[in-house]
Structure formats: C-alpha cells, structure tokens
C-alpha cells in the first residue's frame, strides 16, 4: 500500500517537473541585444548576465529537480541579481 502512495507521489512530482519545463520555468530571457538578460532589470537595462560558480545548495537543488533543467548560475553586473537559469 505504501509503495503505491510513494509511486504515485513520484509520478505526480515528475509530471509537475515536465509541466514546468513545458511552461519555460527558469528559462533565459531573450531580447534583441542579448540571449540572456537579467530578469530584475530587463525592460530598462538590456545587458547579458555573467556565469558564476554554483554553491552546494544550487547543486543539491539541481539533483532534487532530477537534473532535468540543467541549471547554471548567473549574476547581473548592473543590479547584482544572482540566480539559476536553464538554457
């Protein structure tokens, strides 16, 4: 009985992840100037984000999402926003 519950929970989790990929969650913001704009200052300032190293929490988050998103960490040189984006 417990296996059925666990299996259905895993299936629901996988479905949610697939829906999020289809909706484009965490995707890079594209504009005329660059292919990876900062989500914080997008309409006003259009400069590309720079790649930085991921910390251990980002790596754990990557494993929790079953590495389906292929997250990479970026920083904005203008507003110092940091976050994960997937291609």
Q: Is 37 in the site for Zn ion (CB under 5 A)?
A: no
* DSSP 8-state assignment for residue 65: T
Cβ nearer to Zn ion, comparing 20 with 41: 41
Q: Is 76 in the site for Zn ion (CB under 5 A)?
A: yes
Q: How many residues lie near Zn ion (CB under 5 A)?
A: 7
C-alpha torsion sign, points 25, 31, 33, 38: negative
- Contact between 74 and 14 under an 8 Å Cβ cutoff? The reply is no
Answer for which of 17, 34, 40, 84 binds Zn ion (CB under 5 A) is 40
Which parts of 1-87 fold into alpha helices (H)? 2-23, 56-64
Q: Which stretch binds Zn ion (CB under 5 A): 4-12, 22-30, 41-49, 51-59?
A: 41-49
């Amino acid at each position: 009985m417990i296996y059925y519950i666990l299996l259905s929970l895993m299936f629901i989790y996988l479905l949610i992840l697939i829906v999020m990929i289809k909706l484009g969650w965490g995707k890079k913001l594209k504009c005329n100037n660059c292919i990876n704009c900062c989500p914080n200052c997008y309409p006003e300032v259009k400069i590309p984000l720079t790649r930085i190293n991921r910390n251990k929490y980002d790596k754990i988050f990557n494993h929790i999402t079953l590495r389906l998103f292929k997250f990479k960490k970026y920083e904005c040189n203008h507003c110092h926003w940091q976050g994960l984006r997937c291609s």
